[in-house]
């Protein structure tokens, strides 16, 4: 995915590449149709922390693994980054997201149990 102005609402401005290829356009179209945003391209990092895949020869790096989230939960993802040092036995890097959890409070009265009957 690239940093084209038309895609900024969906992918942000921190993608590894300037221009999108066909697969990048497909991801953006899918995300837009499902009301999703790509959070992995919205946080500023050095390029070495944006790579998510390395070719077997070790010379080619790409950003091909992403985290998509529903637009209404957009602010719940606080941080996304790839970690090169994680030993996952694959040529993909570990992509980690920091997510803020929200718990719903139930307005239903708590049920009391009779201790002697238990």
pLDDT tens digits for the chain (118 residues)?
777 877 777 887 777 777 878 888 888 889 889 999 988 887 888 888 778 888 888 888 888 888 888 888 888 888 888 888 777 778 888 888 888 887 777 676 667 777 787 7
| Contact yes or no for 49/92 (Cβ under 8 A) | no
pTM tops 0.85, yes or no: no
Number of CB atoms found within 10 A of residue 31's CB: 20
Question: In this structure, what token pair is assigned to residue 70?
Answer: 């529903």
Between CA 97 and CA 43 the distance in angstroms is 11
Phi, psi of 4, rounded to the nearest 5 degrees: -65, 145
Residue carrying structure tokens 């070790």: 58
| pLDDT of the residue at 109 | 65
| pLDDT of the residue at 110 | 65
| Contact yes or no for 51/16 (Cβ under 8 A) | yes
Query: 72-98 as b/e, with b when 16 or more CB fall inside 10 Å?
Result: eeeeebeebebeeeeeeeeeebebeee
């Amino acid at each position: 995915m690239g940093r084209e102005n038309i895609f900024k609402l969906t992918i942000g401005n921190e993608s590894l590449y300037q221009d999108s290829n066909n697969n990048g356009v497909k991801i953006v179209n899918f995300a837009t149709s499902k009301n999703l945003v790509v959070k992995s391209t919205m946080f500023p990092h050095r390029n070495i922390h944006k790579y998510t895949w390395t070719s077997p020869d070790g010379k080619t790096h790409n950003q091909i693994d992403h985290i998509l989230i529903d637009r209404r939960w957009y602010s719940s993802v606080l941080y996304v980054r790839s970690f090169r040092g994680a030993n996952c036995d694959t040529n993909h890097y570990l992509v980690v997201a920091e997510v803020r959890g929200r718990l719903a409070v139930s307005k239903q009265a708590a049920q009391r149990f009779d201790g002697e009957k238990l």
